[in-house]
Structure 1
Amino acid sequence: MKALLSLPIAAALTCGTLSAGAAESLKQQLVGTWSVISFVNENERTGKTTKVFGSDPKGYFMFDAANHFSITLMRPGRPKFGRRDFPLPGETRAALEGIIVMFGDYKVNESEHSISLQIIGGSFPAWDNTNQKRFIAINGDELTYKNPTPATGGGTAVVTLKRATSASE
Protein backbone atom coordinates (compact mmCIF):
# COMPACT_ATOMS: atom_id res chain seq x y z
CA MET A 1 0.00 0.00 0.00
CA LYS A 2 2.85 2.39 0.84
CA ALA A 3 4.39 1.69 -2.56
CA LEU A 4 1.12 2.62 -4.31
CA LEU A 5 0.90 5.92 -2.40
CA SER A 6 4.53 6.69 -3.21
CA LEU A 7 3.99 6.50 -6.97
CA PRO A 8 1.69 9.53 -7.29
CA ILE A 9 3.94 11.59 -5.01
CA ALA A 10 7.05 10.64 -7.01
CA ALA A 11 5.23 11.40 -10.27
CA ALA A 12 4.11 14.81 -8.98
CA LEU A 13 7.63 15.68 -7.84
CA THR A 14 9.08 14.60 -11.19
CA CYS A 15 6.55 16.69 -13.14
CA GLY A 16 7.24 19.70 -10.91
CA THR A 17 10.97 19.34 -11.50
CA LEU A 18 10.50 19.00 -15.26
CA SER A 19 8.22 22.05 -15.39
CA ALA A 20 10.66 24.18 -13.41
CA GLY A 21 13.51 23.15 -15.72
CA ALA A 22 11.42 23.69 -18.85
CA ALA A 23 11.57 27.51 -18.72
CA GLU A 24 13.18 28.70 -21.93
CA SER A 25 15.95 31.25 -22.01
CA LEU A 26 15.36 34.58 -23.73
CA LYS A 27 17.48 33.39 -26.66
CA GLN A 28 15.46 30.18 -27.02
CA GLN A 29 12.26 32.22 -27.04
CA LEU A 30 13.70 34.66 -29.60
CA VAL A 31 14.73 32.08 -32.19
CA GLY A 32 12.31 32.02 -35.11
CA THR A 33 10.53 34.30 -37.53
CA TRP A 34 8.54 37.29 -36.30
CA SER A 35 6.03 39.28 -38.35
CA VAL A 36 5.83 43.07 -37.93
CA ILE A 37 2.57 44.30 -36.38
CA SER A 38 3.45 47.93 -35.64
CA PHE A 39 6.35 50.39 -35.70
CA VAL A 40 6.16 53.65 -33.77
CA ASN A 41 8.59 56.22 -32.50
CA GLU A 42 7.84 57.21 -28.91
CA ASN A 43 9.20 60.61 -27.92
CA GLU A 44 9.57 60.43 -24.13
CA ARG A 45 10.12 64.19 -23.87
CA THR A 46 6.92 65.24 -25.68
CA GLY A 47 4.81 62.10 -25.21
CA LYS A 48 4.16 62.07 -28.97
CA THR A 49 4.11 58.84 -30.98
CA THR A 50 4.66 58.67 -34.74
CA LYS A 51 3.80 55.78 -37.05
CA VAL A 52 6.98 56.07 -39.13
CA PHE A 53 6.06 53.17 -41.42
CA GLY A 54 2.35 53.91 -41.57
CA SER A 55 -0.53 52.10 -39.91
CA ASP A 56 0.21 48.70 -41.48
CA PRO A 57 3.99 48.14 -41.77
CA LYS A 58 5.20 44.90 -43.34
CA GLY A 59 8.23 42.77 -42.63
CA TYR A 60 9.94 39.93 -40.85
CA PHE A 61 12.57 39.75 -38.13
CA MET A 62 14.40 36.41 -38.24
CA PHE A 63 16.74 35.06 -35.58
CA ASP A 64 18.27 31.59 -35.93
CA ALA A 65 19.85 29.32 -33.31
CA ALA A 66 23.33 29.89 -34.81
CA ASN A 67 23.15 33.63 -33.90
CA HIS A 68 22.37 35.00 -37.37
CA PHE A 69 19.65 37.59 -37.93
CA SER A 70 17.88 39.25 -40.83
CA ILE A 71 15.47 42.18 -40.54
CA THR A 72 13.26 43.49 -43.32
CA LEU A 73 10.83 46.31 -42.61
CA MET A 74 8.80 48.12 -45.27
CA ARG A 75 6.22 50.87 -45.52
CA PRO A 76 3.38 49.65 -47.74
CA GLY A 77 2.20 51.88 -50.57
CA ARG A 78 5.60 53.03 -51.74
CA PRO A 79 5.30 54.37 -55.30
CA LYS A 80 6.04 51.95 -58.11
CA PHE A 81 8.88 52.77 -60.48
CA GLY A 82 7.81 54.39 -63.75
CA ARG A 83 9.85 51.86 -65.73
CA ARG A 84 9.09 48.74 -63.65
CA ASP A 85 12.62 47.73 -62.49
CA PHE A 86 14.48 50.94 -63.32
CA PRO A 87 13.70 54.00 -61.20
CA LEU A 88 13.26 57.41 -62.73
CA PRO A 89 14.96 60.38 -61.02
CA GLY A 90 13.42 60.86 -57.57
CA GLU A 91 11.83 57.40 -57.36
CA THR A 92 14.85 55.84 -55.68
CA ARG A 93 14.60 58.15 -52.67
CA ALA A 94 10.94 57.33 -52.02
CA ALA A 95 11.66 53.61 -52.28
CA LEU A 96 14.69 53.76 -49.98
CA GLU A 97 12.99 55.92 -47.35
CA GLY A 98 10.32 53.26 -47.00
CA ILE A 99 12.56 50.34 -46.02
CA ILE A 100 14.94 49.18 -43.35
CA VAL A 101 16.95 46.06 -44.15
CA MET A 102 19.86 44.60 -42.22
CA PHE A 103 21.56 41.28 -41.55
CA GLY A 104 24.38 39.92 -39.45
CA ASP A 105 25.01 38.16 -36.17
CA TYR A 106 23.46 38.69 -32.76
CA LYS A 107 24.14 37.96 -29.11
CA VAL A 108 21.53 37.90 -26.34
CA ASN A 109 22.19 39.44 -22.91
CA GLU A 110 19.70 37.57 -20.71
CA SER A 111 20.06 39.83 -17.65
CA GLU A 112 19.56 43.09 -19.61
CA HIS A 113 16.87 41.66 -21.89
CA SER A 114 18.88 43.03 -24.78
CA ILE A 115 20.46 41.86 -27.99
CA SER A 116 23.64 43.14 -29.56
CA LEU A 117 23.45 43.20 -33.33
CA GLN A 118 26.70 42.88 -35.26
CA ILE A 119 25.41 44.38 -38.49
CA ILE A 120 27.27 43.08 -41.53
CA GLY A 121 25.22 45.09 -44.01
CA GLY A 122 21.96 46.85 -44.65
CA SER A 123 20.04 49.70 -46.20
CA PHE A 124 21.91 52.32 -44.14
CA PRO A 125 25.59 52.13 -45.23
CA ALA A 126 26.71 53.83 -42.00
CA TRP A 127 25.45 50.75 -40.10
CA ASP A 128 27.66 48.30 -42.03
CA ASN A 129 30.16 46.59 -39.70
CA THR A 130 28.75 48.21 -36.56
CA ASN A 131 27.40 46.91 -33.25
CA GLN A 132 24.01 48.14 -32.10
CA LYS A 133 22.04 47.33 -28.98
CA ARG A 134 18.29 46.68 -28.83
CA PHE A 135 16.04 45.86 -25.90
CA ILE A 136 13.52 43.05 -26.18
CA ALA A 137 10.63 41.59 -24.23
CA ILE A 138 8.80 38.42 -25.17
CA ASN A 139 5.35 37.58 -23.89
CA GLY A 140 4.09 34.36 -25.45
CA ASP A 141 3.92 34.93 -29.20
CA GLU A 142 4.52 38.71 -28.98
CA LEU A 143 7.92 40.37 -29.16
CA THR A 144 8.57 44.02 -28.30
CA TYR A 145 11.78 45.31 -29.89
CA LYS A 146 13.07 48.73 -28.81
CA ASN A 147 15.77 50.81 -30.45
CA PRO A 148 16.79 53.75 -28.24
CA THR A 149 18.69 55.45 -31.10
CA PRO A 150 16.65 54.99 -34.30
CA ALA A 151 17.70 56.42 -37.65
CA THR A 152 14.18 57.81 -37.91
CA GLY A 153 14.89 60.02 -34.87
CA GLY A 154 12.28 61.31 -32.47
CA GLY A 155 12.80 59.14 -29.40
CA THR A 156 12.68 55.38 -29.13
CA ALA A 157 11.57 53.13 -31.98
CA VAL A 158 9.21 50.44 -30.71
CA VAL A 159 8.44 47.53 -33.01
CA THR A 160 5.74 45.07 -32.01
CA LEU A 161 6.05 41.65 -33.62
CA LYS A 162 4.07 38.43 -33.56
CA ARG A 163 5.54 34.98 -34.03
CA ALA A 164 4.98 34.15 -37.70
CA THR A 165 2.89 31.17 -38.62
CA SER A 166 3.35 28.99 -41.67
CA ALA A 167 2.55 30.75 -44.95
CA SER A 168 0.20 27.88 -45.79
CA GLU A 169 -1.99 28.49 -42.71
Structure 2
Amino acid sequence: MRNAMTGLALLLALLLASGGAAGAADFPLAGTWTLTAADRITPAGVREPDYGAAPKGRLIVDATGRYSLQIFKSERTGFASGDKKRGTPQEYADAALGSSTHYGTIAIDAAAHQLVFRIEGASFKNWEGTTQRRAYDLKGDRLSYRVPTAPDGNVPVSEWRRER
Protein backbone atom coordinates (compact mmCIF):
# COMPACT_ATOMS: atom_id res chain seq x y z
CA MET A 1 0.00 0.00 0.00
CA ARG A 2 2.83 2.37 0.87
CA ASN A 3 4.49 1.78 -2.55
CA ALA A 4 1.19 2.46 -4.32
CA MET A 5 0.74 5.74 -2.41
CA THR A 6 4.33 6.77 -3.19
CA GLY A 7 3.75 5.98 -6.89
CA LEU A 8 0.50 7.94 -6.91
CA ALA A 9 2.17 10.92 -5.24
CA LEU A 10 5.00 10.80 -7.79
CA LEU A 11 2.51 10.68 -10.68
CA LEU A 12 0.60 13.64 -9.24
CA ALA A 13 3.83 15.62 -8.84
CA LEU A 14 4.79 14.90 -12.46
CA LEU A 15 1.36 16.00 -13.70
CA LEU A 16 1.55 19.23 -11.72
CA ALA A 17 5.10 19.93 -12.95
CA SER A 18 4.02 19.47 -16.57
CA GLY A 19 1.16 21.94 -16.30
CA GLY A 20 -1.44 19.68 -14.77
CA ALA A 21 -3.99 19.65 -17.56
CA ALA A 22 -3.94 16.50 -19.64
CA GLY A 23 -5.52 18.33 -22.59
CA ALA A 24 -2.83 21.03 -22.75
CA ALA A 25 -0.35 18.64 -24.37
CA ASP A 26 -2.94 17.99 -27.07
CA PHE A 27 -2.86 21.59 -28.41
CA PRO A 28 -2.61 20.79 -32.13
CA LEU A 29 -0.10 23.56 -32.91
CA ALA A 30 2.34 22.70 -30.12
CA GLY A 31 5.84 22.03 -31.39
CA THR A 32 8.68 23.47 -33.42
CA TRP A 33 7.88 24.37 -37.03
CA THR A 34 10.28 25.12 -39.89
CA LEU A 35 9.28 27.54 -42.63
CA THR A 36 8.83 25.93 -46.05
CA ALA A 37 7.38 28.93 -47.93
CA ALA A 38 6.88 32.65 -47.37
CA ASP A 39 5.02 33.87 -50.45
CA ARG A 40 2.50 36.51 -51.39
CA ILE A 41 -0.56 36.37 -53.58
CA THR A 42 -0.75 39.53 -55.67
CA PRO A 43 -4.00 41.39 -56.36
CA ALA A 44 -3.89 39.70 -59.81
CA GLY A 45 -3.93 36.29 -58.07
CA VAL A 46 -0.30 35.40 -58.86
CA ARG A 47 1.67 33.60 -56.15
CA GLU A 48 5.30 34.73 -55.86
CA PRO A 49 8.12 34.64 -53.27
CA ASP A 50 7.82 37.32 -50.59
CA TYR A 51 11.04 36.56 -48.70
CA GLY A 52 13.26 35.45 -51.57
CA ALA A 53 13.97 32.09 -53.14
CA ALA A 54 15.01 30.30 -49.94
CA PRO A 55 13.42 31.95 -46.88
CA LYS A 56 14.32 30.73 -43.40
CA GLY A 57 12.06 30.67 -40.40
CA ARG A 58 11.01 29.07 -37.16
CA LEU A 59 7.71 28.99 -35.31
CA ILE A 60 7.74 27.60 -31.78
CA VAL A 61 4.43 26.99 -30.01
CA ASP A 62 4.17 25.60 -26.48
CA ALA A 63 1.36 23.49 -25.08
CA THR A 64 -0.43 26.56 -23.69
CA GLY A 65 -0.42 28.51 -26.96
CA ARG A 66 2.52 30.86 -26.35
CA TYR A 67 4.50 31.31 -29.54
CA SER A 68 7.61 32.89 -31.05
CA LEU A 69 7.93 33.34 -34.82
CA GLN A 70 10.80 34.44 -37.05
CA ILE A 71 10.96 34.70 -40.85
CA PHE A 72 14.09 35.86 -42.73
CA LYS A 73 14.87 36.53 -46.36
CA SER A 74 18.02 34.56 -47.17
CA GLU A 75 19.24 37.13 -49.69
CA ARG A 76 19.25 40.10 -47.31
CA THR A 77 22.44 42.17 -47.33
CA GLY A 78 24.98 41.73 -44.56
CA PHE A 79 26.49 44.80 -42.90
CA ALA A 80 29.87 45.59 -44.51
CA SER A 81 31.08 47.24 -41.28
CA GLY A 82 30.26 44.14 -39.22
CA ASP A 83 28.46 46.48 -36.79
CA LYS A 84 24.69 46.88 -36.93
CA LYS A 85 25.05 50.38 -35.47
CA ARG A 86 27.04 51.45 -38.53
CA GLY A 87 24.95 50.26 -41.44
CA THR A 88 24.16 51.95 -44.72
CA PRO A 89 20.59 52.94 -45.56
CA GLN A 90 20.37 49.92 -47.90
CA GLU A 91 21.65 47.55 -45.19
CA TYR A 92 19.06 48.88 -42.73
CA ALA A 93 16.28 48.58 -45.33
CA ASP A 94 17.27 44.97 -46.10
CA ALA A 95 17.37 44.14 -42.39
CA ALA A 96 13.90 45.60 -41.78
CA LEU A 97 12.20 44.42 -44.97
CA GLY A 98 13.94 41.04 -44.98
CA SER A 99 12.60 39.88 -41.63
CA SER A 100 9.37 39.42 -39.74
CA THR A 101 9.44 38.46 -36.08
CA HIS A 102 6.78 38.47 -33.40
CA TYR A 103 5.64 36.63 -30.27
CA GLY A 104 2.59 36.33 -28.08
CA THR A 105 -0.23 33.79 -27.89
CA ILE A 106 -1.96 31.79 -30.58
CA ALA A 107 -5.36 30.12 -30.43
CA ILE A 108 -7.62 28.28 -32.82
CA ASP A 109 -11.10 29.58 -33.59
CA ALA A 110 -12.53 26.31 -34.92
CA ALA A 111 -15.91 27.81 -35.83
CA ALA A 112 -14.33 30.47 -38.08
CA HIS A 113 -11.46 28.14 -39.11
CA GLN A 114 -8.93 30.81 -38.16
CA LEU A 115 -5.77 31.12 -36.13
CA VAL A 116 -5.92 33.99 -33.66
CA PHE A 117 -2.55 35.64 -33.02
CA ARG A 118 -2.44 38.02 -30.06
CA ILE A 119 0.82 39.81 -30.75
CA GLU A 120 2.68 41.07 -27.70
CA GLY A 121 5.97 42.08 -29.34
CA ALA A 122 7.02 42.45 -32.98
CA SER A 123 9.83 43.75 -35.15
CA PHE A 124 7.09 45.77 -36.89
CA LYS A 125 6.04 47.93 -33.93
CA ASN A 126 2.58 48.63 -35.39
CA TRP A 127 1.59 45.00 -34.77
CA GLU A 128 2.29 45.11 -31.02
CA GLY A 129 -0.87 44.79 -28.96
CA THR A 130 -2.95 43.71 -31.97
CA THR A 131 -4.99 40.59 -32.62
CA GLN A 132 -4.75 39.08 -36.08
CA ARG A 133 -7.01 36.38 -37.45
CA ARG A 134 -5.63 34.19 -40.20
CA ALA A 135 -7.38 31.54 -42.30
CA TYR A 136 -5.38 28.34 -41.96
CA ASP A 137 -4.99 24.75 -43.09
CA LEU A 138 -3.50 22.12 -40.76
CA LYS A 139 -2.89 18.64 -42.12
CA GLY A 140 -0.74 16.49 -39.85
CA ASP A 141 2.66 18.17 -39.67
CA ARG A 142 1.89 20.77 -42.36
CA LEU A 143 0.50 24.20 -41.48
CA SER A 144 -0.29 27.06 -43.83
CA TYR A 145 -2.05 30.35 -43.22
CA ARG A 146 -2.82 33.63 -44.93
CA VAL A 147 -1.85 36.88 -43.26
CA PRO A 148 -4.35 39.75 -43.54
CA THR A 149 -4.13 41.67 -46.82
CA ALA A 150 -1.24 44.15 -46.80
CA PRO A 151 -1.78 47.83 -47.72
CA ASP A 152 -0.33 47.11 -51.20
CA GLY A 153 -3.07 44.52 -51.80
CA ASN A 154 -0.80 41.48 -51.49
CA VAL A 155 -1.80 38.57 -49.25
CA PRO A 156 1.19 36.98 -47.51
CA VAL A 157 1.09 33.17 -47.19
CA SER A 158 3.26 31.21 -44.76
CA GLU A 159 3.77 27.46 -44.87
CA TRP A 160 5.40 25.41 -42.12
CA ARG A 161 6.48 21.81 -41.42
CA ARG A 162 6.49 20.51 -37.83
CA GLU A 163 9.81 19.04 -36.71
CA ARG A 164 9.70 15.57 -35.18
TM range (shorter): 0.7 to 0.9
| Counterpart pick for 1:47 among 45, 48, 59 | 45
- Percent sequence identity over aligned pairs: 27
Task: Work out the CA distance in 2 between the residues paired with 1:74 and 1:110.
Answer: 29
Check conservation: 1:39, 1:52, Cα contact below 8 A. yes
Q: 1:89-108 counterparts in 2 under 5 A? A: 89-90=88-89, 91-108=91-108
Which stretch shows the higher mean deviation, 63-72 or 85-94? 85-94
Please report how far the alpha carbon of residue 47 of structure 1 lies from its aligned counterpart in structure 2 after TM superposition: 2.0
Check conservation: 1:38, 1:160, Cα contact below 8 A. yes
Please report how far the alpha carbon of residue 111 of structure 1 lies from its aligned counterpart in structure 2 after TM superposition: 2.1
Task: Work out the CA distance in 2 between the residues paired with 1:66 and 1:154.
Answer: 33
Instruction: Name the counterpart of 1:37.
Output: 36
Instruction: Name the counterpart of 1:111.
Output: 111
- The CA RMSD measured in Å over matched residues stands at 2.1
Task: Work out the CA distance in 2 between the residues paired with 1:106 and 1:122.
Answer: 14
Q: TM-score, normalised by structure 2?
A: 0.76
- Which of 1 and 2 has greater Rg? 1
Q: TM-score, normalised by structure 1?
A: 0.74
Task: Work out the CA distance in 2 between the residues paired with 1:63 and 1:150.
Answer: 25
Q: 1:18-97 counterparts in 2 under 5 A? A: 28-43=27-42, 45-86=43-84, 87-90=86-89, 91-97=91-97
Please report how far the alpha carbon of residue 150 of structure 1 lies from its aligned counterpart in structure 2 after TM superposition: 3.7
AA aligned opposite 1:32? G
Aligned residues: 139
> What residue ranges of structure 2 are gaps of 5+ in the alignment?
1-22
Check conservation: 2:104, 2:120, Cα contact below 8 A. yes
Instruction: Name the counterpart of 2:146.
Output: 146
> What residue ranges of structure 1 are gaps of 5+ in the alignment?
1-23
Moved over 6 A (4+): none
Check conservation: 1:41, 1:154, Cα contact below 8 A. no
